[in-house]
Structure 1
Amino acid sequence: MVTIACAASGPSLASTDCLTLHRANIPIIAVNSSWHAVPYCSAIYAADCCWWEEHYSAITSSAARWCGDQFTARRFGINCFPSTLPGSYNSGQRAIELAIHLGASRILLLGYDCSIRHGIHWHGNHKLLANPDKFSVARWHDEFSRLKAIAGSTEIINCSRYTRLTCFPRQSLEAVLSL
């Protein structure tokens, strides 16, 4: 079984959880600015060209870098993984798709809060990019549900400490790692 974790930007993301995954030798895909919480991640996925414009030169991690379109990939010399799903998207959703593409049979989610009830991001507001609001949160729920429909036999477990995302089963990270 190949397990890959995805660490998103929800306020529940805890660096201790990320370190637990690292110590268990589970590769981690950091979503957007979450690479700061997971500098030892194996990949960074950000779909938005604007995010790469703002952050590319400051990334000190040696992780593979992925985006969702050819223009951004060429501009920054990074890997492109376009979604197979039509319609709207978010980087957390696309990071899960990337994990499936990379061969994961089990994906563990951290920081996938899908809510702004406890704050916007663990790292505070984006300075130059749009920040989540109640409309984007509602859209995310639909986007993750569409992803679940095409995930096939890939097991996706939401280990976020707090989440409003209900389309994936929930389990504590400790319980998942004791299996």
Structure 2
Amino acid sequence: MTKTFICIASGPSLTRGDCAQVSASGLPAIVVNNSWQMLPDAAVIFASDCCWWEEHYSTIRSSAARWCGDQFTARRFGINYFPSTLPGSYNSGQRAIELAIHFGASRILLLGYDCSIRHGTHWHGNHQQLANPDKFSVARWHDEFSRLNAIAGGVEIINCSRYTRLTCFPRQPLEAALSQ
């Protein structure tokens, strides 16, 4: 039996309509950083950055389980810690996919995984107090997702983002992917 998860990053292509479809699907969703605001009924909020948690922890209005990528942040905020299975650099969107695999996903749908700053930095605009993506981070993301894809071990990962520069995963419109 296929166990499908949806991972939602914060690329500018993410829409409220996409998130409404995800919510209606009943599938578990892992949202990255501020994307919990688009899908407050997500199962999980994942953010790697301690600085993000520092800025946003007290304002989160969601009952989603909270996960991070380092022990210090987990202890500081009393949230779940998920160690990376990949060596080298990483990003929160990549780690959300790893977490879905850890939870037993055999199929993962991606939204907001634009991996480009051509249409802006995030669906919510620039962070005011945190670093925002630039051409160097975008190039790094492409490498990080390619490394993840190489070890995904039979997990089907489909990028359903409305527009994306990420080419290591097959693409499919969200509606089609949800109907399977």
Q: TM-score, normalised by structure 2?
A: 0.98
Quote how far apart the aligned CAs of 1:128 are: 1.2
Match of 1:153 in 2: 154
Paired residue for 1:52?
53
Match of 1:3 in 2: 4
Superposed CA RMSD: 0.6
Look up the SS of the partner of 2:67 in the other structure. strand
Identity within the alignment, %: 77
Q: Which amino acid in structure 1 is aligned with residue 19 of structure 2?
A: C
Matches within 5 A, 1:119-158: 119-158=120-159
Structure 1 CA distance for aligned equivalents of residues 161 and 15 of structure 2: 9
The residue correspondences of 1:101-112 to structure 2 (distance < 5 A) are 101-112=102-113
Q: Does 1:20 align with 2:17?
A: no
Q: What's the CA shift for 1:116?
A: 0.2
Give 1:109's aligned amino acid. Answer: L
- Deviation string for 1:91-149 (max 9, x for gaps)? 00000000000111100000000000000100011111110000000000000000001
5+ residue gaps, structure 2, are none
How many Å apart are 1:175 and its aligned residue? Answer: 1.1
Q: Look up the SS of the partner of 2:157 in the other structure.
A: strand
Query: Displacement of 1:14 after TM fit?
Result: 1.0
d(CA) in 1 for partners of 2:69 and 2:39? 21
Stretches of structure 1 that go unaligned for 5 or more consecutive residues are: none
Query: 1:48: how far off?
Result: 0.6
Q: Which amino acid aligns with 2:18?
A: D
SS in 2 for 1:171: coil
Which amino acid in structure 2 is aligned with residue 76 of structure 1? Answer: F
Q: Secondary structure at the match of 2:7?
A: strand
TM-score by length of 1: 0.99
- Provide the secondary structure at the position in 2 that maps to 1:124: coil
Give the deviation of 1:21 after TM superposition.
1.4
Q: Which amino acid aligns with 2:76?
A: R
Residue by residue over 1:27-58, the C-alpha shift from the partner in whole angstroms, topping out at 9 and shown as x without a partner, is 11010010001111110000010100000000
**Corresponding residue for residue 38 of structure 2:** 37
Aligned AA (1:90): N
Instruction: Number of aligned residue pairs: give it.
Output: 179
2:68 is the counterpart of 1:67: yes
Letter matched to residue 108 of structure 1:
L
Instruction: Show the counterpart of 2:88.
Output: 87
